[in-house]
Amino acid sequence: MTTGDRAALLRQALGEVRELRARLDAAERMQHEPVAVIGMACRFPGADDPAALWRLVSEGVDAISEVPAERWDVDAFYDPDPAAPGKMISRWGGFLKQVDLFDADFFGLSQREAARTDPQQRLVLEVAWEALEDAALPATRVAGTRTGVVVGACANDYHRLHASLADADAYDGAGNAMSILANRVSYLLDLRGPSITIDTACSSSLVAVHLACGLLRSGEADLALAGGVQLMLAPDSSIVFSKTQLLARDGRCKTFDARADGMVRSEGCGIVVLKRLSEALADGDPIWTVILGSAVNQDGRSNGLTAPSVLAQQEVIRRALQSAGVEPRTIGYVEAHGTGTALGDPIEIDALKAVVGAARPDGNRCAVGSVKANLGHLEAAAGVAGLIKAALVVKHGVIPPHLHLKVLNPSISLEGTPFFIATETAPWPAGPAPRRAEVSSFGLGGTNAHAVVEEPPARPEHLLVLSAATPEALSEQARRYARLLSVESAPPLGDVCHTAAVGRVHLAHRLAARAADAQEMVRRLEAVAAGAPDSAIFRGRAATRRRVAFLFTGQGAQYPGMARELYETQASFRAVLERSAELLSRALDRSLLEVLFDARAAPLLDETEYTQPALFAVEYALAGLWRSWGVEPDVVLGHSVGECVAAAVAGVFSLEEALRLVAARGRLTKELAGRGAMAAAATSERHAAEVIARSGEEVAIAAVNGPTAVTLSGRVEALEPVLAALEGEGIEAQRLRVSHAFHSGLLDPMLASFEAEASKIAYAPPRIPVVSNVTGLVAGPEIASAAYWRRQVRAPVRFFAGMQTLAETGVTAFIEVGPHPVLLGLGQVCAPGDDSLWLPSLRRGRGDWEQMLGSLARLHVLDAAPIDWRGFDRDYGRRRVRLPTYPWQRRRFWIDEPRTPQAADVRPRGADQGDGAWRDWLYTLEWRPRQPLEHGCGIRPSRAAAPADLALRLEEHCRVFGGAPGEPEIPVLAGVDDVCARFAAEAVASLGAALAPGQRIGPEDSERLGVVATHRRLFARLLEILAEDGILRRDGPSYEVVA
C-alpha cells in the first residue's frame, strides 16, 4: 500500500468518524429538544376554551357549584357526619353542563353506538378536534401520519351507572373500555402513531404529556395529542373520598391556607397538540408555550401508599429541571399540585424550597399558585389543566390571583425564599430571559410528574412603524397608539406592530420605535409626542429609493455566541444555520453549532478551520434574513472569506458547494507549517511597498483597506523590521490577532490543493453584480472558475478600490452582513458621502435584535429600500388587530359672509361690470372625476386642463375688455404671467432646489429632488417657464440661475 493509499484511507476513516459523531450529536440534540405546544383546547367548569379559562383565573372566578340534580340527588347522599354510611360530607363540585349532548353525526357514530359510548370518550373526541383546529391543522392533513395520542383517565362512572348483563350489546365493550379513550381518536382521525390510555390517578394527564414528549423525541411520532379527561356521573367515588377525609366540607380547595381541610372534586377535559420545537418553528405553527423538559417518578415504599413523599417530589422537580437544561433561579412561576390538604400543601412547598427555593442574588421572585382554587381537583385532567394555565401565565406575563388564601398554613414558611403567593393580580414583566414556569401533578398512588415550560420563542424587541402626512399628525398618531397600549385590554404588542406595518399606508413622515414590551413602547411614544429625544426612536422623511450593497465581513470579526439571539428566536435564521451545520458535519470534527454556542468549544472559533465556516454560515443566514424582509442587494462585496459569502448570495455556487469550498479553504490553511503574522498600518499602498522593498524582507500587502490603511502579512521575523521602519517614520502599525499570515506567500504551498478542491465545485454566472477582491471592479465570468478562487486566496484584498467602485455605481446604502461592523468604518473613509447610510447587522456587546431592528428602522423611515413587513413577521404567527385610525389635521374652511345673489347682479355678457368685476370671470366651476392623490398620502393629483382648453376660456372672457389673449396691454394677462412665474419658482424651490444666482439646475435633477416619474415632464416645463421669464438662462441641456 502506497503512502497515497494510506492517506486516502485515513481521510475516508476520518470522514466516517465525523459522520458518526454528527449522527450522535443529532440524536443527543433530539433527545433534549424542546417540545412546542401548538394547540390547546379544554372543557372545564365555567371555561369552554383556553381564552375563557384565562378570563376565569385572571378575574378570580370560583367555578364550584352544588351538585346538579341531573347528576344525583345531593340531598339523598349528603350528611355532615363523615361516619354516616353511604353518605358524603360535601354538596359541592366543579361540573360541566350538558355532558349528555354529543354531535354523533359529525363523527359518524350511530345513535345506538353514541348512547353506549362513555361520555368521556365523546368529550375527548370533541376536545381533540378543537385542539387540532386551534393549531390550524386540518384533520385531513394529519390523517395517515405518525401522530400519537396519549390520554389520561381514571374514572368509569358511565359503565357503573348502566352496567347490566341483560341489556349489554355489541357497543358496550368498546364504548366503555378505558383503552378506547385514545384508540377511538386515532381510529376516527386515522392517526398512525402510538395510541395509549394511562391511569396514574391525579397525575394521569401530565404523565400523558411527558410520555407524548418522549414519543416525539424518540422519533416514534412526529405530532402528538396528549391530555386527560374526568367526568363525575355517579356519587360512588365522592362517598369513598369522603370516608378517607379527602373532601373539604365547604367544597373549596383552600390551597396553602390554614383552613385547608381537603379538596373539592371537579371534572373536565384538556388536550394539547405537541410538536418538536424546531419543526414547529420551521413550519410557522402558532406556539402557546414550549415544554423544555419533564420527568416522572414514584414515591416507592414511603410512609403510606397514598401519602405524599417530600423526597420523591424533590427528585422529580430536580430531574425535570435537568431535562430542561435550566437553572432553578430562572423559574418565575410554579403551578402547584395544591390539593388543599393540611398534610400535602406543606410537603409540596418544602420540596419546592429544597430545589427552587434558594435566595436569588438578582432579587427575582417566584409566584406559586394552583388552578384547583378556581376549578377544584379535576383528578385525571388536573395536570393538563395546570399545564394550560401555566402556558397562559407565561404567554400573558400576568400572575392571576390565588383564591381562598386568608392565613398561610402555619406549617408553611416562605421566609428566605423567592416564593410568594399572589392573592391579587401581579404583573410578570419581560426580562432578559424568557418567562419560565413549572407544573406539578402528583398521583394518589405516588406517581409524580413535573414539567418546565417557557414562553414561545419571540423577538425580545418589537418595532412599531407609524407615519403621517405631516409632523403634527405623526405626533398625534404616537399619542393615540400610546393610549391604546396603556389600557389593560390592549392587544399584544407584537400584533399591534404587525398590523401597523402591514395594514397602513406608509406616508411621507415616518417613525419607528423599538421596545421590549408594551410599557416600554408607551414610554417611547410619549417621548415622541413630547418631542423628547430617545435613542430607540427613529424618525425620517421618505425620500428616493437607494442602491443597496451588502458588505460581507472577513476573518477577525468572530466571537463566541455571535448571532445566538437570532438563532434562538428566528426560525428562518435558525433553519439556515442548522442546514449549514448539517452540511459541514463531514468536514468538521466538532459541530458548527457547538463551536458557535457552546462555551466549552469557544476557543475553536479562533482556529481558521472553524472560523471561516462559522463566519460563512452566520453571514449567509444573515443575508437570507435581510432578503426575507424584502431588502435585496443591488450589488455585493466581501472581504477575503467574506467574498465567498457574497458569491454564494449572488448565485455563483450553492450553499452546499460554498460550504465545501470554505471548509477546504480553512482546513488547508490550518495544515500549513508556518503560520506567520499580520499587522495593520496607517499608510498608503505605495508607501508600504516602498518600505517593504527597502527592508528586503518577504512581506506581502494582504489588503488595501483605504487610502492610508493597509494590512501586511508574512513570517514573524520578516514582518518585524518592516513594522519597525514604519514606526520609525511615525506611522502607526498594530499587530493583528490572527492564526495565519493570510494573503501572503506563506499560503503558496496550499494553492494547488485548494484549486483542486475548487475545481470540484459547480459554478454559475452571478445573478447579482459581485465586486471582486482581486481587482476592485465588478467581477466578470472569471469569478465562476477554480482559477479565480485560487487567486483570491493569495492576492491582496482590494477593498479600497471595491468601495470606490460601489460609490461610482451609485450605491448610497451599505449594509454590513457580519457579526460586527468592521467594514463600515473603513468604507466611510473609502467612499465618503454625507447622505450615505451605513448599517450594521450585528454588533458585539449589543443585542442582536436591538441592532438589527435599529438598522431596519433607519432603512424604513427614509424609504431607502422596500420592506416586506409580512415577511418580517412570517415566523411569528401574528394576527391583525384593530388600531387607531388616521389623525386628521383639520383647519377651518368656510365662507364667513355669504353673499346673497340679487337680480341686478346678473348682467348680459359684455355689459359694463364695473371696477374689479372682471376677476369673477377668470374662474369657472367644473366637476371632474379625480384619481387618488400621491402627494403626502400616496394619492395622484388629477391632470390640469389642457393648454388649448385654457386658451379658449381666456379668449372667451377677455372679450369683456375688448382684447384678445396674448396681448401685453391687457393687465389681467400680465398679472397671470407674473403669478405663473412665481408659482413655478416656488414649486421648484419647494422640492429642495437652490435657486441662488450661479447655481445650476436641469431636468436630470428631477430624480434627486424626489419628483415621481409621471411628473418629470412637468418639472422640465417649469424650468422652461423660469427661463422664459429670465429667472434661468439655458446653458446646454441645463440652466443657470441668473436672478
* Average pLDDT over every residue of 554-563: 94
Q: Which residue has the higher pLDDT, 712 or 26?
A: 712
Span 1-12, average pLDDT = 68
| Residues facing 436 on adjacent strands | 454
pLDDT confidence tier of residue 612, bands split at 50, 70 and 90: very high
Q: What share of the chain has pLDDT > 70, as a percent?
A: 89
Averaged pLDDT for residues 90-111: 94
What pLDDT does residue 809 have? Answer: 93
Residue 396 has pLDDT above 70, yes or no: yes
Give the mean model confidence (pLDDT) for residues 102-112. 93
User: pLDDT (tens digit, 9 = 90+) per residue, 780-797?
Assistant: 999 999 999 999 999 999
Answer for the pair 641, 662: CB distance below 8 angstroms, yes or no.
yes
Of 223, 267, 226, 237, nearest to 120 by C-alpha is 267
337 is catalytic: yes
* Average pLDDT score over residue span 15-37: 70
pLDDT higher than threshold 70 for residue 970: no
Supply the pTM of this predicted model.
0.70
- Distance (Å, whole) CA 881 – CA 481: 13
Q: What is the mean pLDDT of residues 668-673?
A: 86
Whole-angstrom Cα distance, residue 67 to residue 71? 7
Grid-cell match 450615505, residue found: 836
Question: Fold for domain 32-454?
Answer: Peroxisomal Thiolase; Chain A, domain 1 (3.40.47)
Burial of 702: CB neighbours in 10 Å, binned 0-12, 13-18, 19+: buried
Phi, psi (5° rounding) for residue 961?
A: -100, 5
pLDDT of residue 11: 60
Candidate list 42, 154, 202, 213, residue with the active-site label: 202
Which of 1.20.1740, 1.10.357, 1.10.3470, 1.10.10 would CATH assign to domain 968-1043? 1.10.10
Residue of 42, 210, 253, 377 with catalytic role: 377
The 3-state DSSP composition of the chain as helix, strand, coil percent (nearest 5) reads: 45, 15, 40
213 catalytically annotated: no
Please give the Cα distance from 554 to 564 (Å, whole number): 19
Sign of CA dihedral 209, 210, 215, 218: positive
Helices assigned H by DSSP within 325-381: 344-356, 372-375
User: Can you say how many angstroms the Cα of residue 193 is from the centroid of all Cα atoms in its chain?
Assistant: 31
pLDDT above 60 for 176:
yes
CATH architecture for residues 676-738: 2-Layer Sandwich (3.30)
SS3 404: coil
Query: Which cell numbers in the block locate residue 674?
Result: 508556518
Q: Which residues pair with 538 in a beta bridge?
A: 512
Between 170 and 555, the more confident residue is 555
963: helix, strand or coil: coil
pLDDT at 16: 66
Cross-strand bridge partners of residue 465: 512
pLDDT at 712 over 90: yes
Say if residues 768 and 633 touch (Cβ distance below 8 Å).
yes
Contact criterion met (CB below 8 Å) for 860 and 465: yes
**pLDDT tens digits, residue range 881-937?**
999 999 999 999 998 876 655 544 444 444 444 444 444 444 444 555 544 433 333
Q: Specify whether the CB–CB gap between 703 and 710 falls below 8 A.
A: yes
pLDDT more than 90, % of the chain: 70
The CATH architecture that domain 548-671+740-845 belongs to is: 3-Layer(aba) Sandwich (3.40)
* Cα(24)–Cα(289) distance, integer angstroms: 28
Q: What is the mean pLDDT of residues 467-487?
A: 96
- Regarding predicted confidence, which is higher, 807 or 974? 807
Rounded Cα distance between 185 and 149, Å, is: 7
Distance CA 92, CA 80 (A): 13
Give the model's pLDDT for residue 586. Answer: 87
Alpha helices in 167-324 (DSSP H): 172-176, 180-189, 204-218, 236-243, 277-283, 310-324
95's CB contacts (< 8 A; 6+ apart) are: 45, 65, 67, 68, 71, 232, 266, 267
Residue labelled with grid coordinates 433607519: 858
Reading the block at residue 757, the C-alpha cell is: 478542491
* Residue 577 pLDDT > 70: yes
Segment 815-819 mean pLDDT = 98
The one catalytic residue in 154, 213, 337, 860 is 337
Which pLDDT does position 911 carry in this prediction?
A: 44
601, 581 contact by CB (below 8 A): no
Cell of residue 732, nine digits: 502607526
CA distance 117 to 108: 13
- pLDDT digits over 718-745, tens only? 999 999 999 999 999 999 888 899 999 9
DSSP 945: P
Q: Range with the lowest mean pLDDT among 281-295, 382-396, 940-954?
A: 940-954
The CA distance from 158 to 754, in Å, is: 75
Is residue 270's pLDDT more than 90?
yes
> pLDDT, tens digit, for every residue of 418-459?
999 999 999 998 777 789 999 999 999 999 999 999 998 888
Question: Looking at per-residue confidence, does 1042 or 445 come out higher?
Answer: 445
HEC sequence for 765-824: CCCCCEECCCCCCECCHHHCCHHHHHHHHHCCECHHHHHHHHHHCCEEEEEEECCCCCHH
377 is catalytic: yes
Q: Are 806 and 538 in contact (CB under 8 A)?
A: no
Q: How far apart are CA 352 and CA 253, in angstroms?
A: 20
| Fold of the domain spanning 462-526 | Alpha-Beta Plaits (3.30.70)
Q: Average pLDDT, stretch 1002-1030?
A: 80
| Mean of all residue pLDDT scores within the chain | 88
Q: Length of the chain in residues, anyone? A: 1043
Report phi then psi at 1001, rounded to 5: -155, 150
Mean pLDDT, range 512-541, rounded to an integer: 94
φ and ψ at 447, to 5 degrees?
Answer: -90, 115
